[in-house]
A and B are shown apart, each in its own frame.
Chain A
């Protein structure tokens, strides 16, 4: 029985450090010490994956395989960077650090469970762990009305979506008599209950990844939440939920064609809603929120490719690789972008509109240059990570004959070019009309600058040498039970 523990070592460490932080909070007054401890916790959970046993644990509830490993590393890195970047934010807003970090670590543990879940109720546990921590994190700035609004919205809508998820699980159980994905793999696609159950599951998970038409919560929640938390939202839960989606919809063979069209429609809707919504935004945080919807859409295109080539073992590995690479590159770039926005936002997140970014190229050259690199990566310009990410999705789409989706990606990239360039143009080619805020004149705090520098380096590294990451994904079978 104890051997099962070794399959979930990362989650144990993350939860353990979270609890430790909460226990130490009355005694330790230094914010730096708490940050340091939290960072060690995030790193420890990530590094312990080397010692985690590969394979099925807890009688098939958890499966630690290459997919799990990838996502554990991703969410661990995300947590590490978010914790580091939020230190100055918490200092500025005068908020308690320990609970914040503990919640992040709990959320990360939940995301880890999501990534390794081989069984639907375990997935639900992971989903709830990460979601509830996220709800609290969204409303962390207690004095801000906007934050409270975003927390309420997230909580209500999120619970609603989780209810859909549970209902779907119930229907699936009713039909197949099991909630384990391995058992579902051989379920017969006949009848209406199984597809209905899977649809409800898709709705619940679609909410989490901000796929249209379940994306309404995203702009408001991202805008109201503390900016480092928005960074976490755009990177961690999204990636982990995509991992779960990958597991479910590539393992479960029921109604293949049905899922292909579902993802096709979802991808198209999400891309267009995200990009068209971002075009008209004046608030940088909202724009980034809509852009995260758009990027979820691009990932869903890769999903459509995955579901459409399930029969072909040659083509399926590149499609998976496209999804994973896109998630990795988008998550890390997004953290960098939100960190810059958080630093420029100033005390109380006052400076969030495009007008406040005018002339940033001269006022804060490093921040402006870093943000430009991130925006160019979102756009998909060569030598940034986003270019190869989009390119691989393109390849997967065309390989699976999804020509229309490829055309839609192209059209949406052009729409995206418009609003990303609008911000770049504002930063470099417009004059700043207001008075320079006193606290912004100092530039970014050292910790935030470190995070941003790391993100820039990763962006350029993935843009020039994407091979190394891809080899990890392509060299071995992704899921132990995958076809």
Chain B
């Protein structure tokens, strides 16, 4: 329980300081506003990389923690902590924020100061959510995240932006109010808001919830997170919010905000209410599989490219939820990995779609066609990212999906079989849309003069592509660091669960490779 200085507090509040400083700049000083915001977000990213040093491989618990008393009654403490899972989610956030700033360099051309202030405040909320270890603090940052996102969609979005922003707020708020009820109930039962303390109390048997209470509390938290993920059938806010948001808004929304839901499931639903989670698992898995297939099918028939990518998010995150609720170590690792991979890939997809929009101001696939000729570089990047999104081996999407399917197959082969069809369908809609947009003949004259990627755009895409490739090749770098927390979550659910790994070379929670076949490991038990 090392208290590593104030890195976590810095990560949470530095963007807020940056936003405050931005307010002092003149509103029409466009260039410096953008540069300042870029510098702030890059500094934040570099600072977040420092966490990699502090969280050792194979550590369980929370290697980085910060604690301060805040309110004496009720006892709410300023308790931040990072483990392998939250560390990478924070790094994902801080990586995508400079990308968002760069993506809006040309696209946003009014009220630029307010835009960047909102973006930075959003970063504060999201980083705070991932790092909070106090339930109340978690809720606080969760709500803080709502307003900047709503403003981003509602002011700088496209035609139906106000409708999308209000829908987003109402849906998310409905969920979070339910979560608040659950939190207050838990506080009443345990006398504290501190998450590790409550986890320990439940795990040691000090707090025993009746079946009915457990299932109700589980649902209270789960519905809030399911709205965020989004899980079918609570997903209807997503297409509107994504399509109407500006490019930066979509990147941050798809890349990071959706992961808050799955992160919440891992942190709250599973460890605190294991019995209820077990009982709810078949239903949740059914919804997840429906989401995978339904999301993919609807994406297949979309004429709007951005909506297609939005539905692909529904589909991919269905995989994550499935991986979480299979209750296997491998699938949990796959779920966390897929969260990170999806963040990068779909963020990149939205970035590319936004670049197309910057040029032609439309998202309709029918308006494009044959873009390979005027924009070969953009087309190459698009293909690369699309391949990663559909799970091509050696790219990041493969690792996550494979681990999820492998782990799920060990638990329920039928779930995995249904989910695997989603992989095929994702290839369908991504490749087909790529063909319609980039291959074939140029049918619309305006497309002939389109400019290829500018240095700024190429730089962003190169950064994302390198990360995609790196994540696909050297996945152990990541999995080693969150294997132990994943295992801890599973163990908290049921100490008797068998941890099965049938890969020939497995990575042990202690780090390092283990040259044993799965059969040998099973025989050892």
Chain B residues with CB under 8 A of A430: 162
Chain A residues with CB under 8 A of B180: 391, 394, 410
- Give chain B interface residues in 174-201, CB to chain A under 8 Å: 174, 177-178, 180-181, 184-185, 187-188
A429–B144 touching, CB < 8 Å: no
Interface segment, one of A49-57, A215-223, A225-233, A411-419: A411-419
Asked if B383 lies at the interface with its beta carbon under 8 angstroms from chain A, I say no
Asked if A47 lies at the interface with its beta carbon under 8 angstroms from chain B, I say no
A425–B165 touching, CB < 8 Å: yes
Chain A residues with CB under 8 A of B147: 376, 381
Q: With A381-B147, A394-B181, A394-B184 in contact, is A414–B170 under 8 Å at CB? A: yes
A395–B165 touching, CB < 8 Å: no
Contact mask A419-430 → B, CB, 8 Å, 1/0? Answer: 001100100111
Q: With A395-B74, A410-B177, A417-B169 in contact, is A425–B184 under 8 Å at CB? A: no
B71–A410 touching, CB < 8 Å: no
A383–B154 touching, CB < 8 Å: no
B188–A425 touching, CB < 8 Å: no
Please report the C-alpha to C-alpha distance between residue A406 and residue B143 in the assembled complex, in whole angstroms.
19
Chain B residues with CB under 8 A of A29: none
B154–A398 touching, CB < 8 Å: no
Number of interface residues of A (CB under 8 A): 30
Please report the C-alpha to C-alpha distance between residue A391 and residue B178 in the assembled complex, in whole angstroms.
13
Chain A residues with CB under 8 A of B184: 391, 394-395, 398, 406
Asked if B454 lies at the interface with its beta carbon under 8 angstroms from chain A, I say no
Please report the C-alpha to C-alpha distance between residue A425 and residue B187 in the assembled complex, in whole angstroms.
34
B433 CB to closest chain A CB (Å) equals 31
Asked if A467 lies at the interface with its beta carbon under 8 angstroms from chain B, I say yes
Contact among A382, A421, A466 with B143 in the assembled complex (CB-CB below 8 Å):
A382
Name which residue of chain A comes closest to B161, CB basis. Answer: A429
Contact mask B151-180 → A, CB, 8 Å, 1/0? Answer: 100110000011001100110011001101
B151–A428 touching, CB < 8 Å: yes
Asked if A407 lies at the interface with its beta carbon under 8 angstroms from chain B, I say yes
B154–A382 touching, CB < 8 Å: no
B73–A467 touching, CB < 8 Å: yes
Contact among B71, B72, B154, B181 with A429 in the assembled complex (CB-CB below 8 Å):
B154
Please report the C-alpha to C-alpha distance between residue A417 and residue B181 in the assembled complex, in whole angstroms.
17
Please report the C-alpha to C-alpha distance between residue A250 and residue B380 in the assembled complex, in whole angstroms.
74
Q: With A398-B188, A467-B72 in contact, is A406–B181 under 8 Å at CB? A: yes
Asked if A352 lies at the interface with its beta carbon under 8 angstroms from chain B, I say no
Chain B residues with CB under 8 A of A429: 154-155, 161-162, 165
Asked if B59 lies at the interface with its beta carbon under 8 angstroms from chain A, I say no
A400 CB to closest chain B CB (Å) equals 10
Contact mask A384-395 → B, CB, 8 Å, 1/0? Answer: 000100010011
- Most chain A CB inside 10 Å of its own CB: which residue of B146, B174, B177: B177
B72–A395 touching, CB < 8 Å: no
A414–B154 touching, CB < 8 Å: no
A410–B181 touching, CB < 8 Å: yes
Please report the C-alpha to C-alpha distance between residue A394 and residue B71 in the assembled complex, in whole angstroms.
17
Chain A residues with CB under 8 A of B409: none
Chain A residues with CB under 8 A of B169: 417, 421
Q: With A376-B147, A421-B169, A429-B165 in contact, is A398–B71 under 8 Å at CB? A: no
Asked if A476 lies at the interface with its beta carbon under 8 angstroms from chain B, I say no
Please report the C-alpha to C-alpha distance between residue A357 and residue B494 in the assembled complex, in whole angstroms.
56
Asked if B384 lies at the interface with its beta carbon under 8 angstroms from chain A, I say no
Please report the C-alpha to C-alpha distance between residue A350 and residue B154 in the assembled complex, in whole angstroms.
28
Please report the C-alpha to C-alpha distance between residue A272 and residue B25 in the assembled complex, in whole angstroms.
45
B144–A383 touching, CB < 8 Å: yes
Asked if A483 lies at the interface with its beta carbon under 8 angstroms from chain B, I say no
Asked if A92 lies at the interface with its beta carbon under 8 angstroms from chain B, I say no
A425–B174 touching, CB < 8 Å: no
Chain B residues with CB under 8 A of A413: 173, 177
A371 CB to closest chain B CB (Å) equals 14
Name which residue of chain B comes closest to A430, CB basis. Answer: B162
A381–B170 touching, CB < 8 Å: no
Contact among A318, A425, A466, A470 with B154 in the assembled complex (CB-CB below 8 Å):
A425
Q: Is the interface of B mostly helix, strand, loop or mixed?
A: helix
A415 CB to closest chain B CB (Å) equals 10
B173–A417 touching, CB < 8 Å: yes
A467–B165 touching, CB < 8 Å: no
B174–A395 touching, CB < 8 Å: no
Please report the C-alpha to C-alpha distance between residue A399 and residue B190 in the assembled complex, in whole angstroms.
12
Asked if B478 lies at the interface with its beta carbon under 8 angstroms from chain A, I say no
Q: Total A-B pairs in contact (CB under 8 Å)?
A: 72
Asked if B356 lies at the interface with its beta carbon under 8 angstroms from chain A, I say no
B154–A407 touching, CB < 8 Å: no
A468 CB to closest chain B CB (Å) equals 10
- Give chain A interface residues in 346-398, CB to chain B under 8 Å: 376, 381-383, 387, 391, 394-395, 398
Contact among A376, A395, A421, A467 with B71 in the assembled complex (CB-CB below 8 Å):
A467
Q: With A414-B174, A417-B173, A418-B170 in contact, is A382–B151 under 8 Å at CB? A: no
Please report the C-alpha to C-alpha distance between residue A421 and residue B170 in the assembled complex, in whole angstroms.
9
Chain A residues with CB under 8 A of B62: none
Chain A residues with CB under 8 A of B73: 318, 467, 470-471, 474
Please report the C-alpha to C-alpha distance between residue A398 and residue B169 in the assembled complex, in whole angstroms.
26
Chain A residues with CB under 8 A of B154: 425, 428-429
Contact mask A309-320 → B, CB, 8 Å, 1/0? Answer: 000000000100
Chain A residues with CB under 8 A of B151: 428
A425–B173 touching, CB < 8 Å: no
A476 CB to closest chain B CB (Å) equals 15
Chain A residues with CB under 8 A of B187: 395
A17 CB to closest chain B CB (Å) equals 38
Chain B residues with CB under 8 A of A406: 181, 184
A384 CB to closest chain B CB (Å) equals 10
Please report the C-alpha to C-alpha distance between residue A422 and residue B154 in the assembled complex, in whole angstroms.
12
Asked if B7 lies at the interface with its beta carbon under 8 angstroms from chain A, I say no
B139–A382 touching, CB < 8 Å: yes
Chain B residues with CB under 8 A of A395: 74, 184, 187-188
Please report the C-alpha to C-alpha distance between residue A418 and residue B171 in the assembled complex, in whole angstroms.
10
Chain B residues with CB under 8 A of A407: 181
Chain B residues with CB under 8 A of A465: 71
Asked if B373 lies at the interface with its beta carbon under 8 angstroms from chain A, I say no
B208 CB to closest chain A CB (Å) equals 18
Asked if B140 lies at the interface with its beta carbon under 8 angstroms from chain A, I say yes
Chain A residues with CB under 8 A of B185: 398
A49 CB to closest chain B CB (Å) equals 25
Chain B residues with CB under 8 A of A428: 151, 154-155
Chain A residues with CB under 8 A of B166: 418, 421-422, 425
Please report the C-alpha to C-alpha distance between residue A422 and residue B170 in the assembled complex, in whole angstroms.
11
A282 CB to closest chain B CB (Å) equals 17
Please report the C-alpha to C-alpha distance between residue A406 and residue B217 in the assembled complex, in whole angstroms.
14
Chain A residues with CB under 8 A of B174: 414
Chain B residues with CB under 8 A of A471: 72-73
Chain B residues with CB under 8 A of A466: 71
A414–B140 touching, CB < 8 Å: no
A383–B140 touching, CB < 8 Å: yes
Chain B residues with CB under 8 A of A381: 143-144, 146-147
Please report the C-alpha to C-alpha distance between residue A274 and residue B137 in the assembled complex, in whole angstroms.
30
Name which residue of chain B comes closest to A379, CB basis. Answer: B173
B173–A414 touching, CB < 8 Å: yes
Chain B residues with CB under 8 A of A417: 169-170, 173
A153 CB to closest chain B CB (Å) equals 34
What are 25 contact pairs spanning A and B, CB under 8 A? Answer: A381-B143, A381-B146, A381-B147, A383-B144, A391-B180, A395-B184, A395-B187, A398-B181, A398-B184, A406-B181, A407-B181, A410-B177, A410-B181, A413-B177, A418-B166, A418-B170, A421-B170, A425-B154, A428-B154, A428-B155, A429-B161, A430-B162, A465-B71, A470-B73, A474-B73
Q: Which 10 A-B pairs have the closest CB atoms?
A: A382-B140, A410-B177, A429-B154, A382-B143, A414-B174, A417-B173, A394-B184, A398-B184, A429-B162, A398-B188
Kindly list 13 other residue pairs between chains A and B, CB separation below 8 angstroms, not including A381-B146, A382-B140. Answer: A318-B73, A387-B143, A394-B184, A398-B185, A413-B177, A414-B170, A414-B173, A418-B166, A421-B170, A428-B154, A465-B71, A466-B71, A467-B71
